[in-house]
């Protein structure tokens, strides 16, 4: 399950970070700190989502 978790985290984190980056740029915030904050938030929020999806895929 650990490999599945990391693979899912890779894709989910990229999607969440991408959505956040687009949102921040559309809001007009072009500084480095908002972009870095959104990237870190996407990375962190991807862990519980990936775990929940991996568990549901494994039937646990």
Q: What is the pLDDT of residue 23?
A: 96
Q: What percent of the chain has pLDDT over 90?
A: 90
Q: What's the predicted TM-score (pTM) here?
A: 0.86
Tokens found for residue 25: 């740029």
pLDDT in tens, 25-54: 999 998 999 999 999 999 999 999 999 999
Q: Compute the distance between CA of residue 31 and CA of residue 12 in angstroms, rounded to an integer.
A: 24
Q: Compute the distance between CA of residue 52 and CA of residue 19 in angstroms, rounded to an integer.
A: 20
Contact criterion met (CB below 8 Å) for 45 and 17: no
């Amino acid at each position: 399950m650990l490999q599945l978790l990391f693979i899912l985290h890779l894709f989910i984190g990229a999607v969440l970070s991408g959505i956040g980056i687009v949102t921040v740029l559309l809001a007009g915030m072009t500084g480095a700190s908002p972009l870095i904050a959104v990237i870190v938030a996407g990375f962190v929020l991807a862990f519980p989502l990936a775990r929940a999806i991996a568990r549901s895929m494994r039937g646990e």
